[in-house]
């Protein structure tokens, strides 16, 4: 059975858990990471030298990096609807997965660490304001895209990209500051609530 290593309050672990629900993959999970077993233990470092969760072990095939894990699971467990075989459609899904990891995810870190984690190391009002401004700029890009598709981030159908992007929208609404009105994002969030994977793993953690 697929083994998942990582605490389920981590946004990156929750991506994998949500994907397993979408793909109907049974799994076992072990708690590792902040608050649980340390990822600096040699046994964990042997699986992921970055000391980060999630890691999966699929019948001896060990893999880390959450978005790579999503792509692997979709390809291996055959949900073409989540990760299309058509090269251009697949590239569109990849575009939004990579955008979430490289741009959106980076934009919120200062604001999230200060306002949700309440970490004194991040408590700099000027930097928090800059982070919110940058985060909002990316969320407006998402708003525009969702207005265009009228449904999901890569088009009319739910895809693998909606997992990282949906978790990001959860983080947006869960971070306390004055949010601008983004009606297509709000409607998207409601649409995601209809999915079992989102209800189970999309909105239950803090990380």
Ligand X SMILES: N[C@@H](CCC(=O)N[C@@H](CS)C(=O)NCC(=O)O)C(=O)O
CB 3 within 8 A of CB 182: no
Minimum distance from CB of 109 to ligand X (Å)? 10
Number of residue whose CB is nearest ligand X: 33
Backbone angles phi, psi at 28, to 5 degrees: -115, 145
Q: Which is nearer to ligand X, 128 or 163 (CB)?
A: 163
| Comparison of 11 and 114: residue with beta carbon closer to ligand X | 11
Q: Specify the residue, 5 or 198, whose C-beta has the smaller distance to ligand X.
A: 5
Q: Dig out the tokens for 55 from the structure.
A: 């890691």
DSSP label of 37: B
Rg (CA), the chain: 17
Task: Name which of 116 and 151 has its Cβ closer to ligand X.
Answer: 116
Closest distance of CB 144 from ligand X, Å: 25
Residue 184 Cβ vs ligand X, minimum distance, rounded to whole Å: 26
The least CB distance from residue 92 to ligand X, in Å, is 20
Name residue 152's beta-bridge partners: 155
Closest residue by Cα to residue 132 from 153, 155, 109: 109
- Of the candidates 62, 69, 80, 93, the residue with the CA atom closest to the CA atom of residue 16: 69
Question: Given the complex with ligand X, which of 33 and 166 has the nearer CB atom?
Answer: 33
Nearest to residue 116, comparing CAs of 15, 205, 14?
205
List b or e across 183-206, with b for residues whose CB sees 16 or more CB atoms inside 10 angstroms: ebbeebbebbeebebbeebbbebe
Closest CB to ligand X among residues 4, 132: 4
List contacts with ligand X (CB under 6 A): 10-12, 33-34, 39, 52-54, 65-67, 207
Minimum CB distance to ligand X, residue 162 (Å): 16
To ligand X, the closest distance from the beta carbon of 94 in angstroms equals 15
């Amino acid at each position: 059975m697929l083994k998942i290593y990582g605490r389920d309050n981590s946004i990156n672990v929750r991506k994998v858990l949500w994907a397993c629900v979408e793909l109907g993959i049974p799994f076992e999970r072990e708690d590792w990471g902040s608050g649980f077993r340390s990822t600096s233990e040699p046994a964990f470092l042997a699986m992921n030298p970055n000391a980060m969760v999630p890691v999966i072990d699929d019948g001896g095939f060990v893999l880390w990096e959450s978005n790579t894990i999503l792509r692997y699971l979709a390809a291996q467990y055959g949900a073409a609807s989540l990760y299309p075989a058509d090269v251009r459609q697949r590239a569109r899904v990849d575009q939004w997965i990579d955008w979430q990891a490289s741009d959106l995810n980076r934009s919120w870190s200062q604001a999230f660490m200060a306002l949700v984690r309440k970490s004194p190391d991040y408590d700099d009002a000027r930097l928090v304001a800059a982070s919110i401004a940058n985060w909002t700029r990316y969320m407006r890009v998402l708003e525009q895209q969702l207005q265009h598709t009228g449904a999901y981030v890569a088009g009319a159908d739910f895809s693998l990209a909606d997992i990282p992007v949906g978790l990001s929208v959860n983080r947006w609404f869960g971070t306390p500051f004055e949010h601008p009105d983004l009606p297509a994002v709000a409607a998207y969030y409601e649409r995601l609530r209809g999915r079992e994977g989102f209800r189970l793993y999309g909105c239950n953690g803090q990380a």
